[in-house]
Structures are given as structure tokens and as C-alpha cells.
Structure 1
Amino acid sequence: MDTLAVLFEGFMKKILFLFLIGVGMTIFFAAKNSIPVSMETDMPLRPSDAAAAPVVIDTYDSMRKPVQMTFERVPERVLVHQMNMLETILVLGQADKVVCVTMSSSSASHARLAEEYPEEYAKLPEVTGKELSREALIMSRPNFFLGWGSTFAPRQYGTTYWWNERGVKTYIAGNSNRFAKRVTVDEECKFIDDMGRIFHAREKSDAVIREIEDELRLDSAETQNRAPQNVMVVEITDRTIVNYDDRDLVGDMVRRLGGRIAIQSRRLSPEEVIAADPDVIFVTYFGAADRPRAEQFFRNIRFNSLKAVKNDRIYLLPFSHMYTSAIKTVDGLRTIKKGLYPDL
């Protein structure tokens, strides 16, 4: 009998060992095959959050379909992708909610943020200036992920569905990757308002929106008798001239400030620019490394006949001020307004 007991005990230990291995493999493959695994945190509600009504926000999913996200409380563990979104969070005083920042950005950009928002920037986790892996983002145990449409591409950080299934709410800025039907200044104001509502910071978000609205106001007495100005907004690459038109946010900025985009085409040759002969040209650039090329391009002798060159009306416009610009919308409007009305 003792021999049988020993054999039975050994047999049961093997069964238990195999069972534990099976459970471990099931969890592993569940994660690999996108079976929902919640990353929700069990943080207690703050008194102010508990008393506030849920906030319902209109946004988009990865398939560009309008969806609603309901926030029962202020997100406490936020992932942020892209510089303008991060800066918006800093302006609203919500840096303490950020657990991870993922974006490819220069040290100069971060130095600027640290200088302009020292108290808020100091609350951020370490910012590397690099795109992090999805695994690194998961390790931060987020409950809200804020990004562009491209953020939630399957090969980038995974779809909105992938994150939602794991208890993480998502928000896609409508103007990013043209998710919204029309890319407009109003859509940027909606983003800022949405952030104010989500983070219960309406006073600060309303102040930013009022600043944008003030820049859009023109003194009709000084502008009503002027002929509409033809405007070109271009990006200079190694191979071509990229043109931004009415389908882009900057096109709406130009229109709202009384200008008119000269050409509705994505790619231009130097000859087409010369033929269009716009009154004003804005040259966009991505960072310090791109700025010299943007500054030098229209100094080439071939463009000497352009009105914009003769009248010294070529202006530099940072890309972040004209694409999914968020908090930088007001800076983009100011640059364009100054270019259109240098005498005002």
C-alpha cells in the first residue's frame, strides 16, 4: 500500500505540474492572439470625480468610424503620442496624469517645453524623445491613450479595438490623418474642448479657445476693400514641392483669415509655382534640420519673377503650427495673419 501511495502522490504532482504549464501557456497565447486582458487600475475615485457626471466624448475608431467614449472619472494613467497633444496636456495642468510619452522628437523640443512649462514638465515621467514599443506602453498600465489616427494603426501601437478590449479608452484627434470629414480650425477647438471636459479643466481650455477665436477676428473696416490674396503653402522635399490646399487645416486657416489657396494640387513643379505667382508664400518645415532648406529655396534665381519674392512676402511656418496643431493653432493663425496683413 505504501508503494501505491508514493506512486499516486508522484502521479498527482506531475498532473499538477502539467496543469500549471497549461495555464501559463494559455495566458501567453491569449495575449499574443489579442484575447482581451484588462489593464484597468483599481484606483479609488476622487471626491470631485465621484460627484461629477460622466463625460461623453465624440471621437473615432481605427476604421474612421465615429464612436463615443464615456469617462466616468478623470483618467489617471494617460499615454500621450505626439508633441502638440503633450503640450495641450501641459497647458491644461494635467501632467501628473501622464504615465508614458511616446514620440520621436528633438531634445530642443523638450527643452522648450521644460522652459515654457517648468512646473508641469517636471511632473512628467522620463521622456526619451523616441517611439516606444507597444510592450513598454502596456507596462505603464494606462487607462487612456491619446493620439493621432496613425497612432492606432495595427503595425504602430495596435488598433483602438485592441486597447479598448483591455480597458483602455482611446481618443483620435479628428484632424489627424483626415479622420474628420472636414479638416478645420473648429475641429482643433473641439479637440481642446474635449480635453478640457475629459480632465475637468474647462476654464483653461475655454481660455485657449477664446484666444484662437480672437485671432480669427478681422477688422472689417481695414480688410473689406482689399482684393483676396492668392496664397501658397508648401513643403520642400528632396524630390518635389508639396502643396497644402483647401483639404488641409492650413487651407482652412488661410480661408478664415481672408486669403485664397492658389492651387488645389498635392505636388507642384517649380514651373507651376512660377505660373501661379501667388501674393504670399508660406514655407513649412519640421524642425531645425529642415529650416535652412526652407529658408533658401525661394532665393534661387529662377524664382526672382515671383511677386512674393519681389515684395519679401515669403514666411516660414512650423509644421506643428498647421497640422493637428492643437495648442499651437493660435501660433499658426498669427503667422498667417501677419503674412496676409503685414501692415496691420
Structure 2
Amino acid sequence: MKKIISMILIGLMAFGITGCGNEDATTAPKTETKVENSNEQLAHYPVTITTYDYAKNPVKVTFEKSPEKVIAVYQNSIETLLALGLQDKIIGVSGLDHDVKDEYKSEFSKLKHYEKTPTKEEVIGLEPDFILGWYSLFSEKKLGDVGFWHERGINTYMAQNSGVIKPDSLQNEYDDILNIGKIFNVENKANEIVNNMKKEIEKVKDLVKEKEAVKTVILEVEKDGVYRIYGEDSIGGDIAKGVGANLVAKSSGKMGNEDLIKLNPDVIFTVYYGKEIDKESALKSIMTNEGLSSISAIKSERVHPIMLSEVYASGIRTLDGIKTISKGLYPELYEDK
């Protein structure tokens, strides 16, 4: 009997050891996955990015890890973060010229939105670790120069086409998106966004390479008979050149009716934004201006409204700008779409 009991006990002990071994085997992969993810983060950081101060001097900032509490000001900053899936990192937003794109409205509705740019005191109270915005955000009248924040361990990033670097360019927009991808360790998503923009440019360029270049002007109505021109040194101008247009108003600046009539563009893009210049009034102020009635674009009704956010500090809307300008220049390419 003692032998039988001993054999049973030995069997139970063996079963217990086997059971524990199986339990460890099932949990081990989870531990390895956590270690692998942790190692991936450790391998990515630190990341050093070049940004600028208010004097437009380059400043290097280093990120030891992905920011967790971000304040994003202005359209491109907000939408780029949303496009990269970083909505959970955002603690405050402000400065929209247009409603956010439809695909981001649900996530945007959950964010703390300031109708006016938050004050320096309000931002300090939010305890961010990263502030993303335009050059103008870091003036003394708003948040103050970047050094104030860097001394407090809060990193900053300025959109390069918001007045920091001249000329404005598509490459600056690409670089901003890629830099934000690096900062948050979402480079694959950032590369995909930028590559789609580049592919759209190349697709249109290839389709129209045998066509005659369309005489084009991109402008914003400042007041009756005075226009702000978006020349080759603007995002809109860079896009228009990229898809083969003849940008006849080449330099950014101001222009009157007489100069615009002399240029006689075949296509005009008129910029609109917010409540100041809405879509309808931007179009109407050109089409109903009797002084411009002799211009080819007006006679053929080839005047197209275009969002400010598609031609200035455009962020992810750069792709929309490429499509808006391409469709206005070459409507036949989009007839079946």
C-alpha cells in the first residue's frame, strides 16, 4: 500500500511540474513581445530635430522619448498629428482656418479646443512636453520665444513654411511631416503620407507632359482691385510649377487690376479662409469684377476657389492642394473621377 501511495504522490508531483512548465511557456511570448517593443523604443530614441527660434536661427532639440502631452496650434499642426494617429497625445488645440477634414472630426471633437490661442500662462498650466505651431506663435505677444520653453524641458517645433524659411516649398512640407514622424516614432505613416503627395505630382506631370502649359495665377483678394499673389516661392506656386503650369505671376507680392489684365491668365485660383474670406465671396469678387472681364480665365469661367490651408503651411492638405490645382488646370484628367 505504501508503494502505491508513493507512486501516486510521485505522479502528482510530476504533473504539477509539467503544468507549471506549460504555464510559463504560454506567458513567455508576451514577456518577449514587451521586451521587443521596449527595445524598439530604446533603439529609436534619442531623436534630435532641427527647429528654429524667433530670430530664425536653427535650434537643435532632442527627444528622449515620444511626447505625451502636446499642444498643437494651427491647421497643419493639428491635422498632421491626427493623420499620424496621435490624437491621444494632444492636450490642447487652437487656430483653425477651416473645419478639420471629415475623417478626423470624430477624434477632433474629443480634444480641448481653444477658440483663441491659449496664453503663456494657460499653456504653463497645461504642463505640456511639446508645443507644435507656426513661427508667429512664438512671438512675445503670444507664447514667447522657444528658449523660454526649452529651459523648462518643453520642446517646440515650427512649421518651416509659416515664415521661418524662404522660399516656401513642397520639400519643407514633406520635411515637417517626416520630422513629426521621427519625433513620435511613426515614420512609416509619415513616409506613406509624403509618398502619396509625391506620387500625385508625378502622375499629373506624366499625364500632361505633351500638353501646352496653362497660364496660371494664384491670388488672394485683399480689397477691391488689390490682390496678394502666391508666386513661385509659395506652396501653391511650387505645386503649380510641379504639375506643369505656366505661373505667369511668378513673384509673391501685391498686384492691381491693370497688372492682372496684362498677365491675362487662362486659370485663376482665388484663396479663401475662415470667416474673413469665405469660398463664395472669394469667387464672386473675381467673377463679378467688371474691371477684369476681359481676362481669359473670367471669360471662360476658369476661376477656382482654393483653401488657404492648401497653399500655405499646408501639412497633410498638401495633397488636397495638388489635386485642387491639377483639377483646375486639367479638368479632363478628372472627368471620370
Q: TM-score, normalised by structure 2?
A: 0.81
Distance 1:225 1:54, change over 3 A: same
Equivalent of 1:117, from 104, 124, 131? Answer: 104
Rate the CA distance shift 1:284–1:213 in 2: closer, same or farther, 3 A: same
Tell me if the contact between 1:285 and 1:294 (Cα under 8 Å) persists in the aligned partners. Answer: yes
The match for 1:286 is 273
Matched to 2:256, the amino acid is S
**Given the alignment of the two structures, is residue 333 of structure 1 paired with residue 322 of structure 2, yes or no?**
yes
Q: Any idea what SS the aligned residue of 2:160 has?
A: coil
Q: Is 1:267 the equivalent of 2:254?
A: yes
- For residue 229 of structure 2, give the secondary structure of its aligned residue in structure 1: strand
Q: Kindly tell me the number of residue pairs found equivalent between the two proteins.
A: 292
Aligned residue in 2 for 1:231? 216
Q: Structure 2: any 5+ residue segments left out of the alignment?
A: 1-36
In the alignment, which residue of structure 2 is the partner of 1:28? none
Q: Supply the distance in 1 between the matched residues of 2:310 and 2:330 (Cα, whole angstroms).
A: 18
Query: What do residues 284-327 of structure 1 show as CA deviations (whole Å, max 9, x unaligned)?
Result: 01125522321212222332211111222111100011100001
Stretch deviating more after TM superposition (147-156 or 298-307): 298-307
Paired with 1:50 and 1:261, the residues of 2 have a C-alpha distance of 48
Whole-angstrom distance in 2 between the partners of 1:307 and 1:122: 44
Contact 2:92–2:114 at 8 Å: present in 1 too? no
Tell me: CA distance 1:219–1:131, structure 2 relative to 1, closer, same or farther (3 Å): closer
Deviation track 1:95-127 (CA, whole Å, cap 9, x = no partner) reads 111122232x47x72xx45x5225533552x21
> Which residue of 312, 317, 321 maps to 2:310?
321
Please list every run of 5 or more consecutive structure 1 residues that lacks an aligned counterpart in the other structure: 1-45
Residues 93 and 120, structure 1, Cα contact 8 Å, conserved in 2? no
Tell which deviates more after alignment, 276-285 or 63-72.
63-72
Answer whether contact 2:292 2:298 (CA < 8 A) is retained.
yes
Task: Report if aligned partners of 2:133, 2:159 keep a CA contact under 8 Å in 1.
Answer: yes
* 1:141-192 C-alpha deviation (Å, 9 max, x unpaired): 1111111111111222100111111111111111111x22431111101111
Alignment of 1:22-171 (within 5 A): 47=38, 49-103=41-95, 105=96, 109=99, 112-113=100-101, 115-118=102-105, 120-124=107-111, 126-171=112-157
Among 274, 282, 292, the alignment partner of 1:303 is 292
Percent of counterpart pairs with the same letter? 32
Deviation at residue 51 of structure 1 after TM alignment: 4.7
Question: Structure 1-normalised TM-score?
Answer: 0.79
Give the aligned partner of residue 277 of structure 1.
Answer: 264
